[in-house]
């Protein structure tokens, strides 16, 4: 029997140290670990830095930079290298010589200025970077300002970024990604096969270390054999998660959180499991009489959900089958636009109210809700303006009436529209329990 052992990919960052832990080697190593590659490092400079900016910096002697490099490559197989802060002409020349000698594939993050403020690349080093290091690059990842400096062109829009990317490519880089923090979130990638626009969105959150994190994520993906365009898209997604998960730790720019991607995936998994457990409780304990003619569904969103794809629900519906509730389909994100819009609307008023379910309206069910002490609000479909969605308008209208997100929002229907009760809660299990409690209260009255 043949056993194939896959070796963990190993990457090397050649960069400076941010004493605040937000950028440089710290950001690179955290990114590598999060993406499942082993990170090694060569320190080029040490900065006295915090979230407010760079106070001072000290360059490591070139001979010791070479010793660090030789120590790593003499013992460890390196699959990919990325560079960050290379502050002086001598450091740039030394690094270029080492990369060229060992024929290592290279990602360049042409760090010039710290996100929090402070110059990290001396003016006299820029020409050396262009002449000696740039031609060795598999990919270079400048932001707009760095791309302007390297290309000598002004960038005002996507077309300007394309011209700059082509110019930098002509200087020797095999591929160029002009990152989109100043281009409405769109990265512009240029390689021999033309341009690719990698669209994203401008996000709220800290961006200290975002450039390092993006280039490190790209390096990790390329080391694992991911094709360039796919690697660029993955790196984009990774850094967006890192920005979203950032938290302010000091008085200046918040550092990105390289665990953002893992935290997001973990949360989505937990939401799926929560909805699945809620569905199981509904099938076991809810009275089938609470299922509307159109069927019902239950859903839960991730924290900060803003799209239907951020909300998990049953892909079919919950229907009556042989006198009992039965879920048709599996639980998945984006499975139900209808119930997701209830969740998303409620979350606009209270981000903790992330789950919802619809059940059949009846006077008995409404009475049971009141008996259980649930907070109730309603809206009338007769008042619904033309050209609006019932879910967004009706749920918002009911919430505005009572000044908070209630447990219950109901309407009595209209011509061709079934009356409905909607339950809301912090998670799907809580909503399912409310439904089961309503079932129990109704049974006691019979």
For the chain, which domains are there? 10-258 (3.40.1190.20), 265-445 (3.40.225.10)
Alpha carbon distance 125, 146 (integer Å): 13
Are 79 and 13 spatial neighbours (Cβ–Cβ below 8 Å)? no
Q: Average pLDDT of 45-53?
A: 92
Q: What are phi and psi of 125, to 5 degrees?
A: -85, -20
- What pLDDT does 6 receive? 62
Asked if residue 5 has pLDDT above 60, the reply is: no
pLDDT band at 115 (very low <50, low <70, confident <90, very high): low
Of the candidate ranges 189-198, 332-341, 411-420, the one whose mean pLDDT is the lowest: 411-420
Question: Which of 63-72, 239-248, 389-398, 436-445 has maximum average pLDDT?
Answer: 63-72
Q: Average pLDDT of 218-245?
A: 95
Of the candidate ranges 111-120, 204-213, 294-303, 399-408, the one whose mean pLDDT is the lowest: 111-120
Residues in the chain: 446
Alpha carbon distance 179, 215 (integer Å): 10
- What pLDDT does 118 receive? 56
Segment 219-228, tens digit of pLDDT: 999 999 999 9
- What pLDDT does 184 receive? 83
Asked if residue 1 has pLDDT above 70, the reply is: no
- What pLDDT does 444 receive? 82
CB atoms < 10 A from the CB of 326, how many? Answer: 18
- What pLDDT does 124 receive? 85
- What pLDDT does 119 receive? 62
Question: Which of 112-116, 121-125, 307-311 has maximum average pLDDT?
Answer: 307-311
The sign of the dihedral angle between the CA atoms of 181, 115, 22, 221 is: positive
What percent of the chain is modeled with pLDDT above 70?
Answer: 97
Asked if residue 389 has pLDDT above 80, the reply is: no
Are 291 and 278 spatial neighbours (Cβ–Cβ below 8 Å)? no
C-alpha separations of 143 from 5, 348, 389 in Å = 39, 33, 41
Q: What is the mean pLDDT of the chain?
A: 93
- What pLDDT does 7 receive? 79
List of long-range contacts for 246-251, beta carbons under 8 Å, 24+ apart = 246/205, 246/206, 246/207, 246/208, 247/206, 248/51, 248/206, 249/51, 250/20, 250/50, 250/51, 250/52, 251/51, 251/52
Q: Average pLDDT of 46-53?
A: 92
Q: Average pLDDT of 286-297?
A: 94
> What is the β-pairing status of strands 10-18 and 80-83?
parallel
What percent of the chain is modeled with pLDDT above 90?
Answer: 83
Asked if residue 67 has pLDDT above 60, the reply is: yes
More confident residue, 188 or 443: 188
Of the candidate ranges 53-57, 175-179, 314-318, 431-435, the one whose mean pLDDT is the lowest: 53-57
More confident residue, 388 or 21: 21
What is this structure's pTM? 0.80
Are 190 and 198 spatial neighbours (Cβ–Cβ below 8 Å)? no
Q: Average pLDDT of 380-386?
A: 85
Alpha carbon distance 219, 224 (integer Å): 9
248-286 in b/e burial notation, b at 16+ Cβ within 10 A?
ebeebbbbbbbbbbebbeeeeeebbebbbebbebbbeeb
- What pLDDT does 114 receive? 63
C-alpha separations of 291 from 294, 319, 364 in Å = 8, 7, 14
Alpha-carbon torsion, ordered 335, 34, 142, 47, to 10 deg: 140
- What pLDDT does 446 receive? 65
Q: In the numeric block, which tokens belong to residue 117?
A: 């403020």
- What pLDDT does 50 receive? 92
Nearest Cα neighbor of 65 from 95, 35, 40, 85 is 95
Residues near 151 by beta carbon (within 8 Å), at least 6 away in sequence: 163, 164, 165, 167, 168, 171
């Amino acid at each position: 029997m043949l056993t194939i052992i896959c070796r963990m990919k190993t990457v090397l960052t050649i960069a400076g140290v941010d004493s605040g832990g937000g950028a440089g080697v710290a950001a690179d190593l955290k990114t590598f670990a999060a993406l499942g590659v082993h990170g090694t490092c060569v320190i080029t400079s040490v900065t006295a830095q915090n979230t407010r900016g760079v106070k001072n910096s000290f360059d490591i002697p070139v001979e010791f930079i070479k010793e660090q490099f030789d120590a790593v490559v003499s013992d460890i197989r390196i699959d990919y290298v990325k560079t960050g802060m290379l502050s002086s002409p001598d450091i740039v020349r030394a690094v270029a010589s080492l990369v060229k000698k060992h024929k290592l594939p290279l990602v360049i993050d042409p760090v010039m200025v710290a996100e929090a403020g402070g110059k990290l690349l001396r003016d006299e080093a820029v020409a050396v970077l262009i002449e000696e290091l740039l031609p060795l690059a598999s990919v270079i990842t400048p932001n707009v300002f760095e791309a302007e400096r390297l290309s000598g062109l002004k960038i005002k829009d996507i077309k300007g970024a394309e011209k700059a990317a082509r110019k930098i490519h002509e200087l020797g880089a095999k591929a160029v990604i002009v990152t989109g923090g100043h281009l409405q979130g769109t990265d512009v990638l240029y390689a021999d096969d033309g341009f690719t626009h990698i669209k994203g969105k401008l996000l709220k959150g800290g961006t200290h270390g975002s450039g390092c994190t993006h280039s490190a994520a790209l390096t990790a993906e390329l080391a694992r054999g991911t094709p360039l365009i796919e690697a660029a898209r993955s790196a984009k997604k990774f850094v967006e998660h890192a920005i979203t998960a950032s938290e302010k730790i000091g008085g200046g720019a918040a550092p990105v959180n390289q665990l953002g991607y893992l935290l997001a995936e973990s949360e989505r998994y937990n939401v799926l499991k929560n909805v699945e457990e809620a569905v199981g409780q509904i099938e076991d304990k809810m009275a089938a009489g609470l299922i509307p003619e159109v069927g019902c569904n239950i859903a839960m969103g991730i924290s900060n959900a803003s799209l239907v794809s951020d909300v998990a629900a049953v892909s079919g519906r919950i229907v009556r089958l042989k006198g009992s509730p039965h879920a048709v389909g599996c639980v998945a994100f984006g499975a139900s636009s209808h119930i997701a819009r209830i969740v998303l609307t409620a979350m606009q008023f209270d981000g903790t109210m992330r789950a919802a379910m619809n059940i059949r309206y009846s006077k008995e069910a409404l009475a049971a809700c009141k008996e259980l002490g649930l907070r109730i609000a309603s809206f009338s479909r007769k008042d619904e303006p033309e050209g609006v969605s019932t879910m967004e308008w009706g749920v918002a209208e009911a919430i505005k009436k009572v000044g908070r997100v209630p447990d219950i929002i109901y309407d009595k229907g209209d011509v061709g529209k079934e009356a409905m009760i909607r339950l809301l809660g912090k998670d799907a299990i809580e909503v399912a329990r409310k439904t089961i409690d309503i079932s129990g209260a109704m049974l006691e009255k019979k």
